[in-house]
Structures are given as structure tokens and as C-alpha cells.
């Protein structure tokens, strides 16, 4: 059996999977806010609970915000800022007394969907999480492609490709740049752009609902969103040429994207024909913690049970 930990900003979740991907145990606890040591011990509490069900020591994989710097071994880029600059991997390995695997939460999402989810069997998978932010992960032949700088898949912090004049320079992004894909395609970015144009504060979900009921402004906004997603994913196809792109996060629930975006991306892809499939996730919000469990299953070392 294999344990996955989803280390989030508000909750920490543990999942126990058997070798067939069947859930055997799941539990959540609140994330101790601003408390690094307490966060580590909460993870240990959840691992201990899962191993009581498993009846022995298991492999452990952890999905977390941010990444581990290859240069320092310390956490970087985490929106849970208490983790930044900390030796999370080392400290957690010592606390659990075993080797563990850790990856960015978007990488875990991609691994889950590539292993036994919507993209099972595909050799190259690009997994995108589009919610309040925008992140992505890459899986090639069942292995996460983290990259030399541990930023593989950081698609959201590239500029919007082929921008129109009225889209320049774009909104400010928290990374310090303007016009990042995240500022256009995240749910918050989509709503913010609508507010800029029309002076009305509404959620992305409300705009989708309005478009479905014939609201012209909302429909125009959603079509522009689909065009921007088509451009942004065409950029990925031109570089990575994945077999499957899986969408996750809140914006992945917009059913029309799976038909309309591929219908638009052909004119931006450097090919006469595009076979890449755009798919919704099989496991949705559970993909992150499932992917974390599969991390350990793929690299159990001496501690897999």
C-alpha cells in the first residue's frame, strides 16, 4: 500500500491506496497556520493513522505548494510562506524515518491522471490546474518531469502568446511580471478582466452561467477566454507535443472548453493536424493526493509495503 499526503494551505489530507489504486483510508486535518514544526507533526499524525490501517510501514509521497530548490534543498515558491526557506524534505524524512518523495501539487495532479486517470496509457501528459491560480505538471512515460530548476510545467508564468494590442501589457502578476497566462486564465483573472471591461464584480462561475442563458457580455467574455486558452495550450503543444492535456481546478468544470478550445487551437499549432486530446480529470480534487501516493509507489525504495 502507498500513502499520499496533500499539503495545502488550509488542510492536510492523507490517502492510502492499494496497488490497484483503490482507496483504503482518507483523513483530513487543518493546516497549522504559520507553524512549521506543527505542520510536520500533523503530517506524521496522518501517516501514523494510515499505517495503522495498512498494518505496516508504507511508501510516502507528498504533494506540496512550491518546489524544492535543486541548489539549496530548501523550499521555494510556496504560497504557504511558512514553508519557504525550510528543509521540508529532509525534516520530514527524518521525522518519518524513511525516504520519501515530494513534488509540486500540479505535478501530483498530472501524475494521478497519467497513471490511472483520464490520460492513463498516454506517453506524454500535460496536467493543468486552473482555479484561483494556474499551474501545470508534465509526465513522460509515467515519470514526473520536474526539470533542472524544479520548475517543469510552470506554464502559468509565461506571457500570453500572440497577444492582441488591447491585451498589452496585461495585468500585473504576483511574480512581478505583467500579462502572465495566469492573469488571464485563472478563475480570478477571468473575473478581474470582466470587471475591468464592464465595471461589475462577478465570479467566473456566474459568468459561465450567464453565458449559458444567453447573456451577450458573458458569452463574449467566455469566447475570448476560450481563444486565450487555445493560444496558451497551442504554445505547449508546439514545445511538448503531448498526447493528452488534462484540465483540473474550478475552471475545468466548464464543459464547453473541451470542444471549443481544440476547435480554436489548430491555427496556432505548427502542424497540419492536431491529435492532442483535451480532457476533464477523472479524479478531480482527489487527483493531487492520489498523485502523491503514486509518487511513492513508483519509487518506494526500501520502505514500500
Residue 303 falls within a domain, yes or no? Answer: no
Percent of the chain, pLDDT > 90?
A: 90
Residue 61 falls within a domain, yes or no? Answer: yes
Q: Are residues 61 and 148 in the same domain?
A: no
Residue 239 falls within a domain, yes or no? Answer: yes
The 10s digit of each residue's pLDDT in 181-208 is: 999 999 999 999 999 999 999 999 999 9
Cβ count near 183 (within 10 Å):
26
CATH number of the domain that 158 lies in? 3.30.420.40
Task: Copy the grid coordinates of residue 273.
Answer: 493536424
Q: Are residues 99 and 147 in the same domain?
A: no
Q: How confident is the model at residue 300 (pLDDT cuts 50, 70, 90)?
A: very low
Q: Are residues 159 and 47 in the same domain?
A: no
- Quick one: pLDDT at residue 155? 93
Percent of the chain, pLDDT > 70?
A: 97
Q: Are residues 97 and 212 in the same domain?
A: no
The pTM assigned to this predicted structure is: 0.92
Exposure of 49 by Cβ count < 10 A (0-12 exposed, 13-18 middle, 19+ buried)?
middle
Q: How confident is the model at residue 65 (pLDDT cuts 50, 70, 90)?
A: confident
- Quick one: pLDDT at residue 258? 98
SS3 of residue 101 by DSSP:
strand
Q: Can you spell out the DSSP letters for 261-286?
A: HHHHHTTTSSSS----EEE--SSGGG
State how far the Cα of 288 lies from the Cα of 272, in Å rounded to an integer: 35
Q: Are residues 189 and 273 in the same domain?
A: yes
State how far the Cα of 119 lies from the Cα of 112, in Å rounded to an integer: 9
Residue given cell 496585461 in the structure block: 170
Q: Which domain, by its residues, includes 186?
A: 118-281
The 10s digit of each residue's pLDDT in 110-149 is: 999 999 999 999 999 999 999 988 999 999 999 999 999 9
Q: Are residues 165 and 198 in the same domain?
A: yes
- Quick one: pLDDT at residue 303? 37
The length of the chain in residues reads 305
Residue 253 falls within a domain, yes or no? Answer: yes
Q: Are residues 56 and 130 in the same domain?
A: no
Q: Are residues 62 and 125 in the same domain?
A: no
Amino acid at each position: 500500500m502507498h500513502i499520499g499526503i496533500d499539503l495545502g494551505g488550509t488542510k492536510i489530507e492523507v490517502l492510502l491506496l492499494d496497488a490497484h489504486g483503490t482507496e483504503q483510508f482518507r483523513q483530513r486535518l487543518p493546516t497549522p497556520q504559520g507553524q512549521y514544526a506543527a505542520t510536520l507533526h500533523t503530517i506524521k499524525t496522518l501517516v501514523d493513522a494510515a499505517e495503522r490501517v495498512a498494518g505496516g510501514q508504507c511508501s510516502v509521497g507528498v504533494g506540496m505548494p512550491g518546489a524544492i530548490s535543486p541548489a539549496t534543498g530548501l523550499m521555494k515558491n510556496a504560497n504557504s510562506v511558512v514553508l519557504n526557506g525550510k528543509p521540508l524534505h529532509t525534516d520530514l524524512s527524518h521525522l518519518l524515518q524513511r525516504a520519501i518523495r515530494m513534488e509540486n501539487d500540479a505535478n501530483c495532479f498530472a501524475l494521478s491522471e497519467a497513471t490511472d486517470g483520464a490520460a492513463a496509457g498516454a506517453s506524454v501528459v500535460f496536467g493543468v490546474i486552473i482555479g484561483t491560480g494556474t499551474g501545470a505538471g508534465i509526465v513522460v512515460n509515467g515519470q514526473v518531469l520536474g526539470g533542472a530548476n524544479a520548475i517543469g510545467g510552470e506554464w502559468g508564468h509565461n506571457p500570453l502568446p500572440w497577444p492582441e494590442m488591447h491585451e498589452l501589457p496585461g495585468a500585473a502578476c504576483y511574480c512581478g511580471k505583467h500579462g502572465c497566462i495566469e492573469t488571464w486564465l485563472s478563475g480570478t483573472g477571468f473575473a478581474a478582466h470582466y470587471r475591468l471591461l464592464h465595471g461589475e464584480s462577478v465570479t467566473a462561475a456566474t459568468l459561465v452561467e450567464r453565458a449559458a442563458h444567453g447573456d451577450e457580455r458573458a458569452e463574449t467574455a467566455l469566447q475570448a477566454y476560450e481563444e486565450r486558452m487555445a493560444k496558451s495550450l497551442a504554445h505547449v503543444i508546439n514545445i511538448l507535443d503531448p498526447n493528452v492535456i488534462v484540465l483540473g481546478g474550478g475552471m475545468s468544470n466548464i464543459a464547453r472548453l473541451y470542444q471549443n478550445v481544440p476547435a480554436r487551437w489548430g491555427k496556432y499549432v505548427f502542424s497540419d493536424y492536431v491529435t492532442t486530446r483535451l480532457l476533464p480529470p477523472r479524479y478531480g480534487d482527489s487527483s493531487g493526493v492520489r498523485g502523491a501516493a503514486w509518487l511513492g509507489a513508483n519509487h518506494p525504495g526500501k520502505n514500500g509495503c
